[in-house]
Amino acid sequence: MKRRRKDKPIYVFSSHFHEDHFNSAIFEWKKQREGITYILSKDIYKHRRANKEDADVWLAKGGTWSDGTISVWALGSTDSGVSWIVETEDKAAIKREQSQACLDSAERERQRVGEQSSGMQARPEVKRIFHAGDLNNWYARFLPEAKPGETIYSEEFDEDIDPIAHEKQYLGELKDIRKINDSFDVVMFPIDGLIGNGYTLGGRQFIERFKVGLFVPMHFVASGFEVTEQREPSSSFEWPSCDGTRRLAYERVHG
């Protein structure tokens, strides 16, 4: 594990038991450093990938946890486990705001104007992060041929699927997330080429419903999907959103 300041807490999250999201090797880290908090989805324990004592916090959908430094909400998924909302607070900014309460109103106004003119943050800075886990519109490529109430046999999944019902479930999970927050500084979301045509639909539907600062694709290279338009490393492309254009930066891996 890369060395971090010892006074900085470390939080380790895992959204579900799939091997691309969880590896028991993470528990070796606590032998190298103190102050690590493990926050895991309960399905990892249910599938016997870890022991109950391995994690500090086990959460299922609807669960919450806070230690005064971060606050965590476990939201739903359209696959296994959960998705995460993590909110962090700038404690120094909070202390500044608390000290403001001791000042008279005229002095508070002078400081407020001074902070605005200097670009300082007048309110405590809260960072909000969303990690989707495996929350996605996974059957997007079947939607063009889907009919309400009917299933389609998928050779890939070896089962009958209902793409319309699945999309309804996905959009319902997004509504639940909006009840907690409608904007995020960072969003990590599976843009998975294995979906096939429509592999960006779930991501676009998310961005259309939330204000997103930085959108980080997961599964993007590991899926083995070849993008139709090749771009240079560290290039970027634009995604439409409800409040204007957001930029998604990514780096292609050659090999």
Model confidence, pTM: 0.74
Question: CB–CB of 132/18 below 8 Å?
Answer: no
19: left (phi over 0), alpha (psi -120 to 50) or beta: alpha
Instruction: Calculate the alpha carbon distances from 90 to 85, 94, 215, 236 in Å.
Output: 17, 6, 22, 30
| pLDDT tens digits along 92-132 | 455 555 555 554 555 655 655 555 554 434 445 789 999 99
Which is higher by pLDDT, 140 or 90?
140
Q: Tell me: the pLDDT tens digits for 201-215?
A: 999 999 999 999 999
